[in-house]
Structure 1
């Protein structure tokens, strides 16, 4: 029992520790943005730099798109090398066990919460305009719960607010399973890279087209055709690493150039407001390329990115990242009431307490949720791998 409870602290064979740091920092930034957005109306005047930082974390979820594209596509490439075939069964089972149980439990809770709230709000006499907006929004979400259920919620009103990311990711992986063996994996590396590079440009062109029609906005970035380039960036990185496996040191100069470039690209992607052409069209490309470069540096055999991001302190949060992502909004909503007890307005001096309490509660509460819902399926998924390792050990 003790080992089960503390499993989030344990290292895993073959795991790249530095990627744990990327996941952990990524989910912290997602939480930073969520708490900021949902608390903004109660905030007093804040420094520009703080608003700029918090509001720009809207796109940080692309960390998981790029990382997912890199790891999953890289795993498929390795399977093709060993078996010369697409691992349909393994891929579908692994994705299903990792995503579906946790997702549908969170969706069921969100549906129940939305339904109860919607029913309660309807009985309020003479509702304010804000309350009417909430009632309408809630009812629309309930009417489109079917879209949440079949992973189309990035195109419709959502019961599970964070479900758009899972929907988009599942759509791309579904296309990978259905079409990949026919138009991609049966090709040579050169042809695959050309195909992926062409596909990578499509979301940018789609964003430009919508901008020309006056229809490109932050909401449109949830749509699959405008966002999947981040996953393709991860896939292209996997192709490069497969072509040129991590070996000797990059050298200080090359390492520094790549690191500085990634930071500059992130700053560029954050340097324009949400009405600017570059922010709505090209900024996403700067950002996902920067993320791919950071991942590349993180998986090197040495360097500050590997050392810093590979610290064991990131491991437990990395383990429960998906749980935290699914539940952070309602959990931080509960903790907000505790953090702001006795406060009438969120000032700069109150903000640290708000974030510390909300982050701490959301992460600690996600731990048992993970153990109850996700961990049993993860262990079931990894059981064949464990048995294989034991057999190899006996043979040796």
Structure 2
């Protein structure tokens, strides 16, 4: 029976494209914020000045600032994939080998994560960045350290999302294994409502709630669980999901327009703090379901492309991002007195792809080969 289960490979190839899109969103956001921080707003958004935004520039500025939703897309994908793999293992073998699961996630996350921590002193000194709390990051509580300090320890501030995912990986296999499947949906619902209740409590009882709302594991766990709900239903019975063309255009247009006119992370009212993000997550989830489970896209995107490959290195794209930004600004832009935004973004995008690719091929990929020893179900990775 084990061989039969082993032969059925789990791989959602279109999620590689989504992974890259999410990572690219974060790169553009961080690059834009870095440029604005050092040089002022882009002239293309301000009618030639670096102060006031034009009407069109206001919309584009807001859209770029909302690209932080890329992290939520990562959370949705992680919640779906991790839960689906665990449910399939439980279904096929009537158990989950938690030790092997933890080892697999460790082999994927830890090597690059700790490589950056090891070389952090060199990077920090070379670009005169703020010194991060190494101990907090070593124990994957960097998100709580940022909440406590109320400041971003660049260039490693983005480690907060990895910390949240690690917390998820430590708890989730036990939930899937020990809670009977018939109670899982109820459990997921309780977790989502707990996350909402936590945000509402924080909003009413904290003088400066922003960092906690944005970075606390409980505050962000609901999106991972929403992805898990999709995995729960797909594991019970694989399905297709099809939007007609008009509905797809309407959903996509609604998302784009909303991102252009309203900040995603604006939490100055109880509704915005507790429920607002579900509007965006709901639209994104529907579009992702259509993209991944619509038979039409299987015919259109049936061949793997370079974008699929970039999805495999998306973790590196995300992890190296802030480090490369500081290097580009302080070691290239300032040193050679380059003040051209197009040159800046071109260099950032090139390095944000080239460095992770090299890292993946020469470092991460070699370690990932060890994953086969601890694999219970075949996956593409």
Same fold flag (TM > 0.5): yes
Q: Which has the higher contact order (CA 8 A, sep 6+)?
A: 2
Deviation at 1:178, TM superposition (A): 4.0
The corresponding residue for 2:108 is: 98
What is the TM-score normalised by the length of structure 1? 0.77
Q: Distance between the aligned counterparts of 1:263 and 1:228, measured in 2?
A: 27
Matches within 5 A, 1:265-304: 268=258, 271-273=261-263, 274-277=266-269, 278-303=271-296
Deviation at 1:231, TM superposition (A): 0.3
The corresponding residue for 2:350 is: 360
1:66 to 76, 79, 89: 76
Deviation at 1:32, TM superposition (A): 0.7
- The 3-state SS of whatever aligns with 1:96 is helix
1:152 to 141, 147, 165: 141
1:211 aligns with 2:203: yes
Matches within 5 A, 1:173-252: 173-182=169-178, 184=179, 186-188=180-182, 191-213=183-205, 214-217=207-210, 220-247=213-240, 250=241
Q: Distance between the aligned counterparts of 2:202 and 2:299, measured in 1?
A: 39
- The 3-state SS of whatever aligns with 2:210 is coil
The corresponding residue for 2:369 is: 379
Q: Distance between the aligned counterparts of 1:306 and 1:355, measured in 2?
A: 34
Deviation at 1:256, TM superposition (A): 5.3
1:320 aligns with 2:309: no
Query: How big is each residue's C-alpha offset from its partner over 1:102-141, in whole Å with a ceiling of 9 and x where there is no partner?
Result: 1100111224433x369xx7xxxxxxxxxxxx7xx53xx3
- The 3-state SS of whatever aligns with 2:64 is helix
When structure 1 is superposed on structure 2, of 209-218 and 166-175 the one drifting more is 209-218
Could you tell me whether the CA contact under 8 Å between 2:75 and 2:227 is conserved in 1? Answer: yes
Deviation at 1:374, TM superposition (A): 0.8
Could you tell me whether the CA contact under 8 Å between 2:192 and 2:222 is conserved in 1? Answer: yes
2:63 to 33, 53, 60: 53
The corresponding residue for 2:15 is: 19
Could you tell me whether the CA contact under 8 Å between 1:217 and 1:280 is conserved in 2? Answer: no
Q: Check 1:298–1:206 CA distance in 2 against 1; reply closer, same or farther (3 A cut).
A: same
When structure 1 is superposed on structure 2, of 358-367 and 327-336 the one drifting more is 327-336
Q: Distance between the aligned counterparts of 2:185 and 2:312, measured in 1?
A: 31
Q: Check 1:111–1:354 CA distance in 2 against 1; reply closer, same or farther (3 A cut).
A: same
Q: Distance between the aligned counterparts of 1:153 and 1:91, measured in 2?
A: 23
Could you tell me whether the CA contact under 8 Å between 1:268 and 1:283 is conserved in 2? Answer: no
- The 3-state SS of whatever aligns with 1:215 is coil
Query: How big is each residue's C-alpha offset from its partner over 1:178-229, in whole Å with a ceiling of 9 and x where there is no partner?
Result: 44433x3x242xx211210121122222222222234332563111111111
The RMSD of aligned alpha carbons is: 3.1
- The 3-state SS of whatever aligns with 1:161 is coil
Q: Check 1:381–1:374 CA distance in 2 against 1; reply closer, same or farther (3 A cut).
A: same
The answer for unaligned runs of 5 or more in structure 1 is 1-12, 122-133, 345-349, 390-396
Q: Distance between the aligned counterparts of 2:369 and 2:201, measured in 1?
A: 45
The corresponding residue for 1:7 is: none
The answer for unaligned runs of 5 or more in structure 2 is 1-8, 41-49, 147-152
